[in-house]
Structure 1
Amino acid sequence: METINRFVRPRTQSYEPLPEQSETTQERRRDEDGGSSVKAKRETSTFEYVVFALVGVAMLWSWNMFMACATYFQRRFAKNPYILDNFQSLILLVSTVTNLTSVVYLSLAESSQPKADYPGRILRSLKINATAFTLLALSTLIWRSAGPAVYLVFTLFNAFLSSLASGMMQNGAFSWVNRFDAINTQALMVGQGISGVLPAITQIMSILLVPPTEPDTSVVADELPTVSPLSAFFYFITATLVSAIAYVAIAALKRRQESLIENPGDIIDTEDETYDSAAVNEAISFWVLLAKLKYVAFSVFFTFAVTMIFPVYTQAIVSVRPMETQSRFFQPDVFIPLSFMIWNTGDLAGRVICAYPFFRVYCPKLLAILSVGRLVFIPLYLLCNIKGQGAYLNSDAMYWLIQMAFGISNGWLGANNLMAAPDMVTESERAAAGGFMTMWLVGGLATGSVLSFFVM
């Protein structure tokens, strides 16, 4: 909480140099990579904060792209009812299982790879991500005749690539950021929240700026959104551009850090900063962490498992307004990404409000109970207009209110759990606790993606 408070309140100089003290002091230390690095407490660098925020955006941008572009995939899979009903769950399953596997593998490999190149790992993941979404973008223009089954395999392959990249990025970013000022960890979280809002906005703009296509006469036109392949192209290529921008930023930060290692005189060190490399490399038992973090681990697992129902329902719920009277914003190709944007805006708001003590929960058992309470959103979704079959809640405003509340609860509970964990372990266990909580979070996403097959 102190890290976030430092972000929202004015920063002050942490020390005042004495006249006889040089403007900067130097202290070179060996880090866990076996190389020479500088570990120093200094005034927060805006450049570093922006770079890690960009990495946070790129980290989850691809996942949110697959979710928000549901209307385009619905048109591509329209001729196969089974694929049309299950493509979202299949994408979720491939994405979360791949992400979980890569995160767990890289976490377990840390002990045998003490010299892992974390910034290099981030850069490689961004290359993979850019490749996957470039292929998806090109498929909207040059591979439009592919059948639903073939295009599903192609889509799942790219979902695999982007999720593999996401796992590499998560491992590399959350490991590398620990070598910087702690406020940069919050930059990653803010970037992740932003990545949920911007893809939906991009989708809506790409649809509104490009005229809709003519309905496919081989299927029932009234049941399908009219999405232009050109708008889908611009949507997918945006993900490539985001990866490219993040790549340039990370490469610049890596060069900057290498320069500081060679010329550490530019770094300000303070007497209250300590660095214990032995503590960083200390092996922490899984069972020790589980005993201390069992309630918050369960809560973050259950929170994100329940969260995985929202993409399945969001891509299926349409406006209650009759088709003939719908304005452009209430037609499915805009209404669905707008609903994703509302959910993700709530998620971002839930993360941000945790910066204030009033919104913090300090009781792990209560967090666990509240995470189970989110199951109430499943029957609430069932009251809405699923696939145009009618709604008990005959109001789009009420549906959007449910979306906003579900998103806020996800961001609020997720942030509370992750912020509570470091205070429940010793100083030497904090780094391991971060990886431990991340593993439960991704495990919840994977479990929820499997269960999403049975919620509709």
Structure 2
Amino acid sequence: MDRLRNFFAAQAAYEPLDHDAATDERTQILDREAPRTRPARRRRFSWLEYAVFVVLGLAMLWAWNMFLAAAPYFRVRFHTSPWALKHFQPVILSVSTVTNLACVLVFTRRQRDASYPLRIVGSLALLIVVFALLTLSTVDRGFRSSDLPVGLYFIFVMTMVFCASFATGLNQNGVFAYVSGFGRPEYTQAIMTGQAVAGVLPCIVQIISVLAVSGGKGGEEKTASKAAFYYFLAAVVVSGIALFGFLYLAKRATGSWTAILQNKKSTSEGGEDEDDALPPTTSHKSFGLLYLFQKLQWLALALYFCFMITMVFPVFTTMIESTQDPAHRSPLFDTAAFIPLAFLFWNAGDLLGRLSVLNPSLASLARFPRALFAFSLARLLFVPLYMMCNVNGQGGITPLGRSDAFYLIVVQFGFGLTNGFLGSVCMMGAGQYVTVEEKGAAGAFMSMMLVAGLATGSLLSFLFVRS
């Protein structure tokens, strides 16, 4: 028992940095080396700022979820090309994850004199342009199927995926680095919550769309185009709201919106309470990835394996069918609606898991990083649970018999719940293990580990399917 207790407890070199003698010593060093860079104390919590970070998290993953939700529309557009119809989804997945990871890697290494607000503004502006073009491509006077060859439209879509993934990577790097400067773990949790909401809403819209047109006559291309129009238009609106919300925060941090373009640091008006001091907008020091990994190794590995293992769920979700009799079941359990219903249960669990860390006792589990790492690996046990379900209609045997409830509640909801909890507690807890001036780089580094886990899991999931 003593050995287990010693393993799961963080060692002295990896303990949270408390405001005690260690903090006083670190402050004295900062005073001697760079007195002007000593940051102010943690600012007060604001529900308005919390809401802005929720919207930023929503915009961060809205692009990815919109491409998934628009899959029926892409099927209609590519139906004349068997190759494009078969390969557009894996190509979208590969282009998205590889581009996103490469972007995060590059910008994580480029920390010196990096303007995080400028990165956030630029990424949101690019997302608005990308989804505006995609919205126009769905209207009758846009890039109609009869006017544009399938091959050219395929290139257009993949170019939009590349641009959206680049913007998402830039946004992730900027937002997670910027939020760490506030010294409020609740704001990091707000971003994670927004990401989870971005997974729930498209599923709901997709289910409603399927049920609304079930049993209708003809008009498949027109119906798919109309649905895609609203999907992409919603992405434009969400990105626009996130942009204006962030400009509000940046204006408070710099005193003016134009200061963002001038790469200025935050300023404080005379008489402002230190607890309301605003975060720096620019990183003037660079910290190596190996240095950050040594400080955050167990949390970083827990986050990486958490999201790597998580990527197995989309593979099974598209293969598992309802166990109910097709002749007597509700349209909700038909394949077209059952798949988004399964995604909804997973994303609902993910959302609840991210909200759960608002409980201080759960958030404090970041003090046990090795235990979180072990819990992350333990999620592999969900793989055999998925294989018990009705994969490709073969009808596996579950502890509850042939049951959709076991699949939706125990497997999907449970897998999402553990993902949301682990992801949030690792991201929130990273700031406890670094100094104040390292928090921006640490936030960007943890974001990189998250994206790396997704990219690795995406590639491994294809090997798993083929096996």
Q: Name the CA distance, whole Å, in 1 between partners of 2:254 and 2:292.
A: 34
Measured in 1, the distance between the counterparts of 2:250 and 2:436 equals: 27
Verify the 8 A CA contact 1:86 1:453 in the aligned structure 2.
Answer: no
Map residues 52-451 of structure 1 onto 2, 5 A cutoff: 52-74=53-75, 76=77, 87-111=88-112, 114=113, 116-142=114-140, 143-144=144-145, 151-180=153-182, 182=184, 183-209=186-212, 214=217, 228-259=224-255, 264-265=269-270, 267-270=272-275, 281-359=284-362, 360=365, 362-393=367-398, 394-401=402-409, 402-451=411-460
Q: Distance in 2 between the 1:312 and 1:86 partners?
A: 15
8 Å contact kept, 2:188–2:428: no
Q: Is the 8 A contact 1:210 1:230 kept in 2?
A: no
Change in 2 beyond 3 A, CA 1:48/1:386: same
| 2-structure distance, mates of 1:83, 1:398 | 35
For residues 181 and 274 of structure 1, the distance between their equivalents in structure 2, rounded to whole angstroms, comes to 10
Higher deviation after alignment, 199-208 or 143-152: 143-152
Offset at 1:264? 1.9
| 1:69 positional shift | 4.1
Shift of 1:305: 1.0
CA drift at 1:433: 2.4
Whole-angstrom CA distance in 2 between matches of 1:282 and 1:290: 17
Distance 2:444 2:127 in 1: 23
SS at match of 1:291: helix
The structural deviation recorded for 1:449 is 1.4
- TM-aligned CA deviation for residue 341 of structure 1: 1.5
TM-fit CA distance, 1:75: 5.1
Please give the alpha-carbon distance, in whole angstroms, between the structure 2 residues aligned to 1:214 and 1:227: 11
Measure, in 2, the Cα distance between the counterparts of 1:363 and 1:376: 21
Any idea what SS the aligned residue of 1:305 has? helix
Distance 1:435 1:210 in 2: 43
SS in 2 for 1:92: helix
Q: Residues 242 and 330 from structure 1, CA distance in 2 versus in 1: closer, same or farther, beyond 3 angstroms?
A: same
Residue deviations 1:171-216 (CA, integer Å, cap 9, x gap):
2222333444624333222222222212222323344445666579
Asked if structure 2 preserves the Cα contact closer than 8 Å seen for 1:349 and 1:408, the reply is: yes
C-alpha separation between the residues in 1 aligned to 2:36 and 2:385? 55
* TM-score of the aligned structures, taking structure 2 as reference length: 0.76
Q: Which amino acid aligns with 1:398?
A: F
Q: Distance in 1 between matches of 2:252 and 2:279?
A: 21
Instruction: Decide whether the 8 Å contact of 1:89 with 1:312 is kept in 2.
Output: no
Letter in 2 for 1:332: T
Letter in 1 for 2:355: V
Query: Aligned partners of 2:348 and 2:354: how far apart in 1?
Result: 10
In the alignment, is the contact (CA less than 8 A) between 1:75 and 1:227 conserved in 2? no
Q: Secondary structure at the match of 2:111?
A: helix
The AA in structure 1 aligned to 2:49 is: E
Contact in 1 for aligned 2:189/2:354 (Cα 8 Å): no
Which secondary structure state, in structure 1, belongs to the residue aligned with residue 300 of structure 2?
A: helix
Aligned to 2:463: 454
> Which moved further from structure 2: 205-214 or 317-326?
205-214
Shift of 1:281: 3.7
Q: How has the CA–CA distance of structure 1 residues 176 and 419 changed in structure 2, closer, same or farther, with 3 Å as cutoff? A: closer
| Counterpart Cα distance in 2 of 1:320 and 1:286 | 48
Give the secondary-structure state (helix, strand or coil) at the position aligned to 1:323: coil
Report the Cα offset of residue 349 of structure 1.
1.2
Across the aligned residues of Structure 1 and Structure 2, the Cα RMSD in angstroms comes to 3.6
Residues 254-288 of structure 1: per-residue CA shift (max 9 Å, x gap): 344444778824732259x799999x644434333
Q: Which runs of 5+ in 1 are unaligned?
A: 1-28, 33-37, 218-224
The answer on whether the counterparts of 2:182 and 2:278 sit within 8 Å (CA) in structure 1 is: no
Q: CA deviation at 1:444?
A: 0.9
8 A Cα contact 1:226 1:333, kept in partner: no
Structure 1 281/318 Cα, relative in aligned 2: closer, same or farther at 3 Å?
same
CA, structure 1 residues 234+106, in 2 after alignment: closer, same or farther (shift >3 Å)? same
Q: TM-score, normalised by structure 1?
A: 0.77
Percent identity, aligned pairs only, is 40
Distance 1:107 1:288, change over 3 A: closer
Distance 1:156 1:78, change over 3 A: same
CA gap 1:66/1:455 in 2 versus in 1, 3 angstroms? farther
Q: AA paired with 2:56?
A: V
* Cα shift at 1:407: 0.4
Structure 1 residue 296: deviation in Å?
2.1
Q: Deviations over 1:86-120 (max 9, x none)?
A: 54433222111111111121222222xx1x44333
8 Å contact 2:308–2:456 — kept in the other structure? Answer: yes
Note the C-alpha offset of 1:347: 0.9
CA contact (8 A) 2:189 2:428 kept: no
Cα 1:262/1:241, change in 2 over 3 Å: same
CA distances 1:13-56 after superposition (whole Å, capped 9, x unpaired): xxxxxxxxxxxxxxxx9779xxxxx9675543433222222111
Match of 2:8 in 1: none
Structure 2 Cα separation of the partners of residues 264 and 193 of structure 1: 36
Measured in 2, the distance between the counterparts of 1:174 and 1:376 equals 30
Q: How far apart, in 2, do the equivalents of 1:429 and 1:117 lie? A: 15
Question: Aligned partner of 2:430: which letter?
Answer: A
